[in-house]
Amino acid sequence: MSVKVGQKVDNFKGTAVIGQDFKEISLADYQGKYVVVFFYPLDFTFVCPTEILKFNELYPEFKKRNVEIISVSTDSKYSHLAWKNTPVTEGGIGDIQYPMMADFTKQIAAQFGVLIEHSGTALRGTFLIDKAGVLQHATINNLDLGRNIHETLRMVDALQFTEEHGEVCPAEWAAGDEAMKANRDSLKAYLTTHTQK
């Protein structure tokens, strides 16, 4: 059974490509940090590099928020490294700064409920895990639908805001926007101010 939002995520581990090296890492290595785990179908494909490169571009913004990123696909570590060593202009991904984990056994994709069993690949799953190891947000896209990395960053901001202030974040909330308390009076005040007449 796959992990659900609100549940603690069981530890997982595997070999990741970090820089030019292979390193064994696990979710437990990131205890006390927020973690975004994102799955993509395959190396050397089409939508995947656009997402991977956008995560890399925004990686400093995630780091500022104490968030680590782990990318995962069912490819081998050797395929990950070869793709990193392929220039972006030739369909490669270049020097990605976050770990690229090899889930060659498919166990991690199955744990998160994104494994496509007949092909042995993963759907585009994005999972936000809090500092206590609890899954707080999950989205899964089909293969042809690229995800919005800015939305993942917004969800980090929302989670951290609610943790700090004890308020809830309404639709389309972004950092700096007004939030509300989880009660009817606060809801009425918010709707009075933010809905068009």
Provide the 8-state DSSP code for 182: S
Closest CA to 20 of 71, 104, 94: 94
Burial-class residue 86 by CB neighbours within 10 Å (0-12, 13-18, 19+): middle
- In angstroms, the CA 80 to CA 101 distance is 8
Owner of token pair 């950092």: 175
Q: Which helix (H) or strand (E) holds 13?
A: strand 13-18
Owner of token pair 């068009």: 196
- Classify 172 in phi/psi space as left (phi over 0), alpha (psi -120 to 50) or beta: left
Catalytic pick among 48, 96, 102, 149: 48
Instruction: Please say if 48 is a catalytic residue.
Output: yes
Just list the catalytic residues.
48
